[in-house]
Every structure is written in C-alpha cells, then in structure tokens.
Structure 1
Amino acid sequence: MELSALQLDALKELINIGVGKGASLLNRMLNKPIELKTIHVHIVDWHDDVLQEYQTKNASIVHMDFNGQINGRANLIFPNRDAIRLLGLIAPWLNVDTSISHVKKNVLTEVGNIVINGVIGSLNNVLNLHSSYTLPCYSDGALYDFFVGMGKGKFILANTQYAIEEQAIKGTLLIFLELNSFQVLGELLDNINGNA
C-alpha cells in the first residue's frame, strides 16, 4: 500500500501549508523571524532504513494522538542537541544548558503543539476531516520504546528545518497512521486531485 506520485505531491503541499501556519504563529508569539520549511516527505514502514536512526538515539518528542475518519499519532522529534539549540534561540531567558528541565519541556511541548496543530489542521480543513485530539505530551528517549504496541500502519515522515537568527535546526515530523486510515487518506487525496 503506497501513495502515487500525485497523491504524495498533494500530501506534501498540505504539510507545507500546515508548517507555514505553524511558523506564522510562532513568529507572532515570539516576535522574531522564524522560517520553517519541509525538506522532504516520505512514506515509510517501521523497518525502513530511514527510520533506523530514530529507533536507538535519544530524542525530544512531542506527540499528539488523533481519532476520527483517520486515526494515528503525530510526533515532532528533535535530536536532543537540536532541542537544546532551539530552546536557546526561542527562549534564551531559560538559561539553556545541556539539560532539559520541566520548564524547557513545556516550551518544547508548546512548539510541538503549534506545528502539529498546523499540519493536522490543514489536513482536516482541506480533506474535510473531523478529528478529535489528545493534549500534546512530551517524551524523551528512543523511538523504539515509544512505538512498541502501536500496531500495523504507515509513517508519513517529513524532514523539517527551522531557521532562526540565521541558524538552522533540524527536526522531523513523523505521523503514524493505522493501515485502514492510510487507505482512507489516499482516497481523500485522490478526491482533491480530481481523480475520484
């Protein structure tokens, strides 16, 4: 079960719209220019090579479950070193060092909330979906432990880049969809492409 080139292009465009909305809101909140863009979008399985690096390395993860016509979990993931750098740029008053305290986790959670809501909101609006969300949560550790027990599904992997004060920070938006939800997504993408 894969997406066609046309479906994948439509999905990339929707993710870019959502990421742009998230960047705009962050700009207004922080009163500093933040450029946020999607570099690549891939559809992957848990065992694909592109996910191997995430399965063992510690990372800062903000996640939010969603349910409705499509069910899954959206995750914004930063390698810990990039999470520390991001905090130093957007919240320098936290005196960022090499640790991530409770307050810093709250800041990262809010950043994740804004970006994830921008993307899932764009999918909902354009595809006319109705979804309910859980509150965003922060976790850290290896993704292998984080996704145990999630069941069968596909991952939408979008590599993102944050440009703040001429510094680039890499993150990953990783959206898990149950297999039947992935099929529904493909059909809805066909509808907006006029191929239904």
Structure 2
Amino acid sequence: MSTAPVELSALQQDAFTELVNIGVSRAAASLRKMIGVQVLLSVPSIEIVSRADAARLVAEREATDLVVVHQSFKGAFSGRALLIFPQETGRELVRAVTGEDLSPEEVAALEDEALSETGNIILNGCLATMANMLQRTLTMSLPEVLRGDGIRIFRPLAGGDATALVLFLYINFSVRERDIRGYIAMLMDLPSLENLRVLIDDFIARAIGETGG
C-alpha cells in the first residue's frame, strides 16, 4: 500500500483521535435526543491515506456497494466529509433510527431522508465540535446521499483536488442494540491538512498549559 506524504506524530494523532471522539460523542448525544434511545459512537483508529488507498481499504472490508452521506465544509480547514456504510448496514441504520421493523419497500422509501438527517447530525455535530475545540468555525453544506463502490465515492468532485488526501476514521455505532459498523472520511488538500496540523499543535499546547506541564 502506498503511503500518504502527510503524517501525524503520535502525539498529534492521539490529540486528533480525542477531538474526533469528543465530536462523535456530542453527535451521538444529539442523535439520542432525536430518536429517544441510547446511541453509542466511537472512533478506534484514524489513518491518513490517498484516495486510491481509501477506496482499497473499503473494498477490502466491504463486498457490497456503499451508501454515503457527504457534506462539504469550509473554514480554517476545508474539504468534504463522508459518512460511509455498507448498503445493508445503511438499511439497518434506517430501521434503528425509525425504531420500526420496516419492510424492504418501506426502508427504500425512507432511506435517503433518514440517512441524510442522521448523517447531518453526525457529521455536522462532529466537525462543529472539533472546530470549536480548535477555536475555529466551519460552515457546512446540506447533506447529499451517494451510492457506489469505493472508487466512485472517493472520486474527486467536479473542480475538486484530485490529489486530496483522506483522513480515514473507523467508527463503531450502536443504537437500539444493533451494532452498525461504518466509516467517516474527510477529504482535504495538503494546505488544509497542514492548517489542521497547526491547529492540533495549538490545541496540544493549550492542554499542556492548562495542566501545568
């Protein structure tokens, strides 16, 4: 597997993982308020990879097509955020969020709307929390749903940067006693990744200062 030309130090990766986990925890709390049941979200690992490697990572783990909620974000760091599920897992998430044992036809009718709303809560909540902890703000586009394989979902948008790298986050998702696996990916160009790295360093410096280290 080819390696990405940008790497986070162990300290930077630990700090960023903490930021992401706080972000998804806040997002899980928002989702819990919407559906009225406990929601657990965690991010056990993060990698920075190329688009091709991100597509390969998904293909190695998922034999079926994927369903993706994606949103663009702009601010101190910019890019595109994707919430990715295997197709059947996405349908299982719809059933979990609605709290009903829906037929395949009913799931199909509700799928895009339910996934868009859920994806917006998770991605917006996660990124907004991270930006706030980094003392910055982000603006986000409305969510859109996309289907296809890894190559398609990581393909650059029209006018997008073909060399953008992917912050690839594995997520564990549990709602209504259903275990749902998925991924969060953030596609960013090199300047945005460098800006993010500087902000992470600032976050680490503030944390050390607050603890008197």
Residue type of the alignment partner of 1:80: Q
C-alpha distance in structure 1 between counterparts of 2:38 and 2:138, whole Å: 31
Name stretches of at least 5 consecutive residues in structure 2 with no aligned partner: 1-5, 207-213
1:27 pairs with one of 6, 27, 32 = 32
Partner of 1:187: 198
Q: Which residue of 2 aligns with 1:52?
A: 56
Distance in 1 between residues matched to 2:85 and 2:126, nearest whole Å: 17
CA-based RMSD: 2.1
Match of 2:97 in 1: 90
Q: Per-residue CA shift, 1:90-143, capped at 9, x if unaligned? A: 214472417853422110111110110121112210112232211111111123
Between the aligned partners of 1:167 and 1:135, the Cα distance in structure 2 is 27
C-alpha separation in 1, matches of 2:137 and 2:175: 33
Tell me what 2:73 maps to.
66
SS where residue 121 of structure 1 aligns?
helix
What TM-score comes out, normalization by structure 2 length?
A: 0.83
Unaligned runs of 5+ in 1: none
TM-score w.r.t. length of structure 1:
0.90
Q: Which amino acid aligns with 1:44?
A: V
- Could you tell me which residue of structure 2 aligns to residue 142 of structure 1? 149
Give the Cα separation in 1 of the matches to 2:105 and 2:168. Answer: 27
- Give the structure 1 partner of residue 130 of structure 2: 123
Kindly indicate whether residue 166 of structure 2 is the aligned counterpart of residue 155 of structure 1: yes
State the secondary structure of the residue aligned to 2:179.
Answer: strand
Q: Provide the rounded CA distance (Å) in 2 between the counterparts of 1:153 and 1:142.
A: 18
Name the SS for the 1:194 alignment partner. helix
Alignment coverage as a number of residue pairs: 194
Deviation at 1:66, TM superposition (A): 0.9
Other-structure match for 1:170? 181
Q: One-letter code of the match for 1:173?
A: I
Q: Determine if contact 1:58/1:140 at 8 Å carries over to the other structure.
A: yes
**Aligned match of 1:7 in 5, 9, 12?**
12
Change (3 A) 1:80 1:11: same
Deviations, residues 19-75 of structure 1 (Å, cap 9, x unaligned)? 001111111111111111112111222233x64143685111000001122110000
Counterpart in the other structure of 1:41: 46
Segment drifting more, 137-146 vs 106-115: 137-146
C-alpha distance in 2 between matches for 1:152 and 1:57: 26
